[in-house]
Amino acid sequence: MGKQKKTKKCSVQRMSSLKRMIKPSDARLKAKDRVAPKKQKPLDLQAIKTNETPQQSSALFFQYNTQLGPPYHILLDTNFINFSIKNKLDIMQNMMDCLYAKCIPYITDCVQAELEKMGPKFKLALRIIKDSRFERIKCLHKGTYADDCLVNRVSQHKCYIVATNDKDLKNRIRKIPGVPIMYVSQYRYTIERMPDAYGPKK
- Residues 21 and 31: beta-carbon distance below 8 Å: no
Question: Span 35-51, mean pLDDT?
Answer: 68
DSSP string, 23-88: -TT-TTS-TTTPPPPPPPPPP-TTSPP----PPPPTTEETTEETT--SSEEEEEPHHHHHHHHHTT
* pTM score, whole prediction: 0.64
Tell me if 29 is assigned to some domain.
Answer: no
Tell me if 9 is assigned to some domain.
Answer: no
The angle formed by the CA atoms of residues 84, 99 and 169, to the nearest 5 degrees, is 55
Give pLDDT, residue 198: 38
**Residue range of the domain that includes 88:** 68-192
pLDDT at 96 over 60: yes
Give per-residue pLDDT as tens, 134-171.
Answer: 999 988 877 778 888 899 998 888 889 999 999 999 99
Tell me if 170 is assigned to some domain.
Answer: yes
Q: How far apart are CA 136 and CA 118, in angstroms?
A: 19
Closest CA to 94 of 112, 79, 74: 74
Return the CATH number at 137. Answer: 3.40.50.1010
Give pLDDT, residue 105: 93
How many domains is the chain partitioned into structurally? 1
Tell me if 63 is assigned to some domain.
Answer: no
Give per-residue pLDDT as tens, 83-93.
Answer: 999 999 999 99
Beta bridge partners of 192: 181
Q: How far apart are CA 53 and CA 175, in angstroms?
A: 15
Tell me if 178 is assigned to some domain.
Answer: yes
Mean pLDDT of the chain: 79
Question: Span 116-128, mean pLDDT?
Answer: 88
User: In percent, how much of the chain has pLDDT > 70?
Assistant: 69
Length of the chain, in residues: 202
Give pLDDT, residue 106: 94
Question: Span 104-122, mean pLDDT?
Answer: 89
Give pLDDT, residue 9: 57
